[in-house]
């Protein structure tokens, strides 16, 4: 059982927007603005899409955005494209004894 809770799957049609939630606790997501999001295509290594909750690394499309409210972080993908179909994982810093926790992952299907 993962420390952070994500929906197992979400889906959307091309051009639509979807949001993936990531629920933690006051010991991780709620206490630190250090949530990151990763995209993973089958058989590939994860790719950093969002860090520090809402920052995008260079080269990541501005269709990807992150936010946080309380103990829940969210990843929003706007203008869905076929290439966005992948697994998405959230990750949070969790303090100086646990350090890092991942969510269980969400499979995004572009219909």
Partner 1 sequence: QVQLQESGPGLVKPSQTLSLTCTVSGGSISSGDYYWSWIRQPPGKGLEWIGYIYYSGSTYYNPSLKSRVTISVDTSKNQFSLKLSSVTAADTAVYYCARVLLLSHGMDVWGQGTTVTVSS
Give residues in contact with partner 1 (CB under 8 A).
2, 34, 36, 38, 45-48, 51-52, 55, 57, 89, 91, 93, 97-105
Q: How far is the CB of 14 from partner 1 (least distance, A)?
A: 27
What are phi and psi for residue 83, nearest 5 degrees? -70, -10
Both tokens assigned to 57: 């690394």
Nearer to partner 1, 5 or 78 (CB): 5
Nearer to partner 1, 13 or 97 (CB): 97
Nearer to partner 1, 56 or 63 (CB): 56
Q: How far is the CB of 46 from partner 1 (least distance, A)?
A: 6
Q: Give me the residues paired with residue 4 across strands.
A: 103
Q: Nearest to residue 95, comparing CAs of 4, 26, 13?
A: 26
Q: How far is the CB of 32 from partner 1 (least distance, A)?
A: 9
Residue pair 105/89 in contact (Cβ under 8 Å)? The answer is: yes
**β-pair type (106-110, 9-12):** parallel
Q: Where are the alpha helices (DSSP H) in the chain?
A: 95-98
Q: How far is the CB of 37 from partner 1 (least distance, A)?
A: 9
């Amino acid at each position: 059982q993962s420390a952070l809770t994500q929906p197992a799957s979400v889906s959307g049609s091309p051009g639509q927007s979807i949001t993936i939630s990531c629920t933690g606790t006051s010991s991780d997501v709620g206490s630190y603005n250090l949530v990151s999001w990763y995209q993973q295509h089958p058989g590939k290594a994860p790719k950093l899409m969002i860090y520090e909750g809402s920052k995008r690394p260079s080269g990541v499309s501005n269709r990807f955005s992150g936010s946080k409210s309380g103990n829940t972080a969210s990843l929003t993908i706007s203008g869905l494209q076929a290439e966005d179909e992948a697994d998405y994982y959230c990750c949070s810093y969790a303090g100086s004894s646990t350090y890092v926790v991942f969510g269980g992952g969400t499979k995004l299907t572009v219909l």
